[in-house]
Amino acid sequence: MRGNKEKILRGGVILLPIDILAGILEAVPVAVEVADNRGNILYVNKAFTKVTGIPAEQRLHKNIFNVSPDGALALALRKRKRVSGHRCIVGGTMVEVISNASPITVDGKMLGAVVVFQHITDIINLLEELRRSNNIIKNLSHKFGQVTRSKYSFSDIIGCSEELNKVLTVARNAAASNSTVLLLGESGTGKELFAHAIHNASARKNGPFIKVNCAAVPENLLESEFFGHQKGAFTGAINDKIGRFELANGGTIFLDEIGDISLVLQAKLLRVLQEMEFERVGGIETINVDMRVIAATNRDLRQLVRTGRFREDLFYRLNVIEINIPPLRERKDDIEMIAGSIIEKLNRKMGTQIKGLSADAVEALSGYHWPGNVRELENVLERVSIGFNGSYITADAVKPHLNGFSSAAESMEIMEISKMEEILIKRALEKYGTSMKGKKKAAAVLNISLATLYNKIKKYNL
């Protein structure tokens, strides 16, 4: 082969001295072998010996068509073409490699060929590494879409009652600490709003706020929702999945409806809260997390503990700071102010121009028992505002929208309370039926226990 003794030329530009080029070829971690047109082996680098185990002196000046007739170098010489991704065993060895070979052409004339190759396990390792990296990238992009931030702060919690202010003070102090918070209160009292506000006022406010609705996720999927899973961990686990705890790292996890999780999962949850570590479903790697936990439920957790449906140790783990948000009927001073804020939002949303509530409307709203709390107040005002074009909402406008008891009671004739109880129970049984399921539903709607319902059925001879 002809060459420039001093410098390598490419397109007339002097690039590298030949000794530097030789140094490079010796240093690269892939095997290099060069043969001339007739197959005489002219050069092998250090990595060649390392990969194949063949010393340079045993290889040089042999003919490639004899020693490795099926290799990529022989192929490239024979076909006078590039050969890529060629998998074969190096002649005279048991070493399997993947090679790429190219003809060496100078001034349009083919002078020989060069092959570069690597041990197949190196490639397999690289592929494995690539697969792992791809997985991480996939997980991360998946994660980006799932990480949520808190949406509300303490300034969104409206009210001026003493009861609410007491609770707000506890919540503000809780925000300043890193302790686990348990939010208790009836449906619609603002537990989720408080959870957001506590996160937002905490040192973790720039971290994620991740909510899991424990009642909404089917029991068999909840574990993987919490902890994530490894691909193939169970039927349907077609990809790796990051769990909510992992997503919450550096931030807050909000376990909503915590009273609804099974005893099996309660045990697993307890471990995470104690150790701040867990494994993905089907995974072996232990994942550590740094997060604050806020849990909420509208169920009576103490009662669930007493009846064995909620672990006592988990209850105490969660109940570090307990915040009981009182129902709206116990803080009627808040109604007018909250209603004012809701009306402002409705005006923006519905394009209405309602200025507020008339005095008799405030009175009517205050006389109602608000089983659905603030959420119900929002719904009532939204229904009132549809098609409303006055400036102040009156009692007459709201009364038809107050569900159930109070409006029904107004149209009801006065009677003995026990008579009214009998009528209500009878109506509930007519509506839901006298099967076990019907009775359970009737008891739930009447807000009495099943045992009490049975007693009353006996008492009134229904």
Ligand X SMILES: Nc1ncnc2c1ncn2[C@@H]1O[C@H](COP(=O)(O)OP(=O)(O)OP(=O)(O)O)[C@@H](O)[C@H]1O
Binding site for ligand X (CB under 6 A): 157-159, 185, 187-193, 298, 338, 341, 374-375, 378
Contact (CB, 8 A) for 277 and 289: yes
How far is Cα 191 from Cα 94, in angstroms, rounded to an integer?
Answer: 69
Identity of the residue, 193 or 291, whose beta carbon is nearer to ligand X in the bound complex = 193
Taking the CA atoms of residue 377, residue 383, residue 389 and residue 391 in that order, the dihedral angle to the nearest 10 degrees is: 0
How far is Cα 459 from Cα 454, in angstroms, rounded to an integer?
Answer: 9
Which residue in this structure is represented by tokens 């909620």? 310
CB of 221 to ligand X, least distance (A): 20
Identity of the residue, 186 or 192, whose beta carbon is nearer to Mg ion in the bound complex = 192
CB of 447 to Mg ion, least distance (A): 19
DSSP-derived 3-state class of residue 80: coil
Identity of the residue, 158 or 170, whose beta carbon is nearer to ligand X in the bound complex = 158
Residue type, 437: K
The number of angstroms, rounded, from the C-alpha of 338 to the middle of its chain's C-alpha atoms is: 32
> CB under 5 to 8 A by kind: which of Mg ion, ligand X, none does 77 bind?
none
Q: What is the 3-state secondary structure (H, E, C) of 150-164?
A: CCCCHHHCCCCCHHH
CB of 256 to Mg ion, least distance (A): 5
> CB under 5 to 8 A by kind: which of ligand X, Mg ion, none does 159 bind?
ligand X
> CB under 5 to 8 A by kind: which of ligand X, Mg ion, none does 249 bind?
none
The count of chain residues that interact with Mg ion, using the rule CB under 5 A, is 1
> CB under 5 to 8 A by kind: which of Mg ion, ligand X, none does 293 bind?
none
By CB under 5 A, which span of 6-14, 50-58, 185-193, 236-244 interacts with Mg ion? 185-193
Q: Which element (helix H / strand E) includes 430? A: helix 417-432
Q: Which residue is nearest to ligand X (CB)?
A: 190
> CB under 5 to 8 A by kind: which of ligand X, Mg ion, none does 185 bind?
ligand X
Identity of the residue, 119 or 191, whose beta carbon is nearer to Mg ion in the bound complex = 191
By CB under 5 A, which span of 57-65, 149-157, 192-200, 401-409 interacts with Mg ion? 192-200
CB of 334 to ligand X, least distance (A): 7
Contacts of 159 (CB under 8 A, 6+ apart): 165, 331, 333, 334, 337, 338
CB of 273 to ligand X, least distance (A): 21
> In Å, what is the CA distance from 326 to each residue of 114, 179, 316, 366, 376?
82, 22, 21, 15, 15
CB of 164 to Mg ion, least distance (A): 17
Q: Find the DSSP H helices in 162-228.
A: 162-176, 191-200, 219-227
CB of 175 to Mg ion, least distance (A): 18
Identity of the residue, 192 or 246, whose beta carbon is nearer to Mg ion in the bound complex = 192
Phi and psi, residue 100, nearest 5°: -130, 130
Q: What's the residue count for the chain?
A: 462
What are 336's two structure tokens?
């007018």
> CB under 5 to 8 A by kind: which of ligand X, Mg ion, none does 260 bind?
none
Identity of the residue, 192 or 240, whose beta carbon is nearer to Mg ion in the bound complex = 192
Binding marks (x or -) toward Mg ion, 385..424, rule CB under 5 A? ----------------------------------------
Q: Can residue 192 be called a binding residue for Mg ion (CB under 5 A)?
A: yes
DSSP-derived 3-state class of residue 233: coil
Identity of the residue, 168 or 237, whose beta carbon is nearer to Mg ion in the bound complex = 168
> CB under 5 to 8 A by kind: which of ligand X, Mg ion, none does 375 bind?
ligand X
Radius of gyration (C-alpha) of the chain in whole angstroms: 38
> CB under 5 to 8 A by kind: which of Mg ion, ligand X, none does 270 bind?
none
CB of 154 to ligand X, least distance (A): 10
Among 93, 91, 84, smallest CA distance to 123 is for: 84
Residue type, 185: G
Q: Which residue is nearest to Mg ion (CB)?
A: 192
Identity of the residue, 352 or 379, whose beta carbon is nearer to ligand X in the bound complex = 379
How far is Cα 139 from Cα 408, in angstroms, rounded to an integer?
Answer: 55
Give the CB-side neighbour count of residue 136, counting CA atoms within 13 A.
Answer: 6
Residue type, 188: G
What are 113's two structure tokens?
């060929």
Q: Which residues of the chain form contacts with Mg ion (CB under 5 A)? A: 192
